[in-house]
Amino acid sequence: MITKIFLSLLLVFTIVSGMSCTTSPSDDRDLMACVNILRQIETAKRTMAMGHSLENGELLTPEQVESLSTFMTGGKWSAHQCPSGGRYTVGRIGQPPSCSIHGNSKDIHIYY
């Protein structure tokens, strides 16, 4: 009896965990594109922090956020949109930027 319950719980767990791992190839492409943009934002923030002597924890002004794109490929924010429609939060200096759908680049692990 206990074994039967355990096995059915195990089966449910296996099905649920199997479903959560199922992503379509286009989801994977969107995630990878988003992570690439998040990394560019992070690098642009570091470059700006060095150029403006900004300390960790400082907030960027709206003008500084706007000009971050000049350090990114394409040079415009319009060239850096999350393919899934997520919104980016640049965040403070020293903290990772994040996407409203995909999270931040530190929490996203891509396995090839």
Interacting residue ranges for Zn ion, rule: CB under 5 A: 34, 82, 86, 99, 101-102
CA 6 – CA 52 distance, rounded (Å): 60
CB of 17 to Zn ion, least distance (A): 23
In this complex, which beta carbon is closest to Zn ion, that of residue 93 or of residue 97? 97
| Ordered DSSP codes for 43-92 | HHHHHHHHHTTPPTTPPPPHHHHHHHGGGSTTSSGGG---TT---EE--S
Q: Between residues 51 and 85, which has the closer beta carbon with respect to Zn ion?
A: 85
Q: Which is nearer to Zn ion, 65 or 101 (CB)?
A: 101
CB of 34 to Zn ion, least distance (A): 3
User: Shortest Cβ distance from residue 39 to Zn ion (Å)?
Assistant: 12
Residues comprising the chain, all counted:
112
Paired sense of beta strands 98-99 and 103-104, if any:
antiparallel
